[in-house]
C-alpha cells in the first residue's frame, strides 16, 4: 500500500473516530441521561454528565490534532516526504491550495469545538454551544473528500456522519465513559457497570434511528458514487464498500442480540462484557474501513 495513502487514511480514521465520540457525547447528554433520571437519581446523572463532558473534550482535542496533522499528510501525498519537510510547502497546501480552502474552515471549527467542549467541563450551561459546535464541525468534514464541490453530496455525507455518531458514537461513549467511584456511594450502592447497563437499555430507540439514517444515506451514497452494480467487484472502491457494508451488517446483528439480552433479563443478571464489546470492536472496524474508503477513488 502507498505510504502517503496510508498516512492520509490513518489521520482520517483518527478524525472520524474522535468526531463520532463527540457526537455520541452530545446524544448521551441530551437524550439518554434524562431517560435514566428516575432510575439513577439526579446526583448520579450529574456525575455521568460531567464524565461525558470530559470524554467529549478528549474527543474534541483528538479531532483538532487529527485535523492539524492532515495538512502534513496531504503535503506528503502531493510533494513526498522531502517536500513535507519545508514549512513553506506546508503553508502552500494549508493556505493557498484548493485543498486548503476546504481545510481552513475545518480547523477553525475544530478549535471552536475544543473551546466549547472545555466550557462544558466547567459549566453545564455550555452544552448547547458544544452540541452546536460539533454539528458545525461535522458539516465541514465533507469539504475535503468525495463530496467536495457539490452541496447535495456535502449534505448527504454530513447526515451520514451525524447519524453514525448518534448510533456508533453514542455506543462508544457509553462504553468508554469513566465515572468516578463517588457515583457508587450515592444512596444504595450500585456498581458503575450496572449503571452503564441501565443507560444501554435506553439506547435502542436512538440506535435504531441512527442505524436507519446511516443505512438510507449509505444506500444513496452508493448509488451516487458506484455508477453500476458491477463496480462493487470490479473496482477497488466497490470492494472496500462491500467490506464496509459487511461490517455494518455485523454491527447490526450484534446490536440486535444485545437489545434482546438487555430486555429479556434484569440488569442484575447481565454482564456488560462479551458481545457489547464485540459490537464496539466492529464499530471501530467500520471507522477504519471508512477512512480508507474516503481516500479511495470512486468510479
From CA 163, how far away is CA 138, in angstroms rounded? Answer: 11
Indicate whether 113 belongs to any domain: yes
pLDDT given for residue 145 in this prediction: 86
pLDDT given for residue 276 in this prediction: 86
pLDDT given for residue 273 in this prediction: 56
Domain tally, the chain:
1
Indicate whether 162 belongs to any domain: yes
pLDDT given for residue 266 in this prediction: 65
Indicate whether 299 belongs to any domain: no
Nearest Cα to Cα of residue 56 among 160, 164, 153, 177 = 177
Q: What global pTM score does this model have?
A: 0.96
pLDDT given for residue 88 in this prediction: 95
Label residues 39-77 b or e (16+ Cβ within 10 Å = b): ebbeebbbbbbbbbbbbbbbbbbbbbbbbbbbbbbbbbb
pLDDT, tens digit only, all 299 positions of the chain: 588 889 999 999 999 999 999 999 999 999 999 999 998 999 999 999 999 999 999 999 999 999 999 999 999 999 999 999 999 999 999 999 999 999 999 999 999 999 999 999 999 999 999 999 999 999 999 999 888 889 999 999 999 999 999 999 999 999 999 988 777 777 777 888 888 888 998 999 999 999 999 999 999 999 999 989 999 999 999 999 999 999 999 999 999 998 888 877 665 555 545 678 899 999 999 999 999 999 998 88
pLDDT given for residue 270 in this prediction: 57
Indicate whether 277 belongs to any domain: yes
Q: pLDDT tens digits, residue range 238-260?
A: 999 999 999 999 999 999 998 88
For residue 150, what is the DSSP state?
A: -
Indicate whether 214 belongs to any domain: yes
Indicate whether 298 belongs to any domain: no
Indicate whether 275 belongs to any domain: yes
Instruction: Confirm if 201 and 263 have CB atoms less than 8 A apart.
Output: yes
Instruction: Confirm if 139 and 158 have CB atoms less than 8 A apart.
Output: yes
Indicate whether 75 belongs to any domain: yes
* Unique residue bearing C-alpha cell 437499555: 201
Q: Give the domain extent around 176.
A: 3-293
Q: pLDDT tens digits, residue range 280-292?
A: 999 999 999 999 9
From CA 154, how far away is CA 139, in angstroms rounded? Answer: 7
Percent of the chain with pLDDT over 70: 96
**Maximum Cα interatomic distance, the chain, rounded to a whole number of Å:** 62
Amino acid at each position: 500500500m502507498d505510504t502517503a495513502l496510508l498516512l492520509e487514511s490513518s489521520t482520517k480514521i483518527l478524525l472520524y473516530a474522535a468526531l463520532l465520540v463527540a457526537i455520541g457525547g452530545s446524544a448521551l447528554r441530551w437524550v439518554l441521561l434524562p431517560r435514566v433520571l428516575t432510575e439513577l437519581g439526579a446526583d448520579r446523572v450529574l456525575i455521568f454528565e460531567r464524565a461525558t463532558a470530559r470524554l467529549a473534550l478528549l474527543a474534541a482535542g483528538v479531532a483538532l490534532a487529527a485535523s492539524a496533522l492532515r495538512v502534513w499528510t496531504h503535503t506528503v501525498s502531493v510533494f513526498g516526504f522531502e517536500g513535507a519537510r519545508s514549512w513553506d510547502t506546508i503553508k502552500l497546501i494549508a493556505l493557498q491550495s484548493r485543498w486548503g480552502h476546504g481545510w481552513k474552515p475545518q480547523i477553525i471549527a475544530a478549535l471552536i469545538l475544543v473551546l466549547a467542549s472545555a466550557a462544558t467541563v466547567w459549566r453545564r450551561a455550555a452544552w448547547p454551544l458544544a452540541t452546536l459546535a460539533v454539528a458545525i464541525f461535522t458539516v465541514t468534514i465533507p469539504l475535503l473528500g468525495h463530496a467536495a464541490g457539490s452541496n447535495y453530496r456535502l449534505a448527504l455525507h454530513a447526515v451520514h456522519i451525524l447519524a453514525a455518531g448518534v448510533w456508533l458514537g453514542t455506543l462508544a461513549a457509553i462504553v468508554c465513559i469513566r465515572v468516578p467511584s463517588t457515583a457508587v456511594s450515592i444512596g444504595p450502592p450500585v456498581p458503575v457497570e450496572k449503571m452503564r447497563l441501565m443507560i444501554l437499555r435506553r439506547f435502542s430507540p436512538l440506535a435504531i434511528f441512527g442505524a436507519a439514517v446511516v443505512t438510507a444515506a449509505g444506500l444513496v451514497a452508493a448509488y451516487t458514487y458506484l455508477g453500476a452494480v458491477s463496480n462493487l467487484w470490479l473496482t477497488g472502491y466497490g470492494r472496500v464498500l462491500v467490506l464496509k457494508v459487511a461490517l455494518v451488517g455485523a454491527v447490526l446483528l450484534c446490536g440486535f442480540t444485545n437489545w434482546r439480552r438487555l430486555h429479556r433479563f434484569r440488569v442484575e443478571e447481565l454482564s456488560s462484557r462479551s458481545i457489547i464489546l464485540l459490537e464496539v470492536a466492529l464499530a471501530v472496524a467500520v471507522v477504519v474501513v471508512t477512512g480508507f474508503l474516503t481516500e479511495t477513488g470512486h468510479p
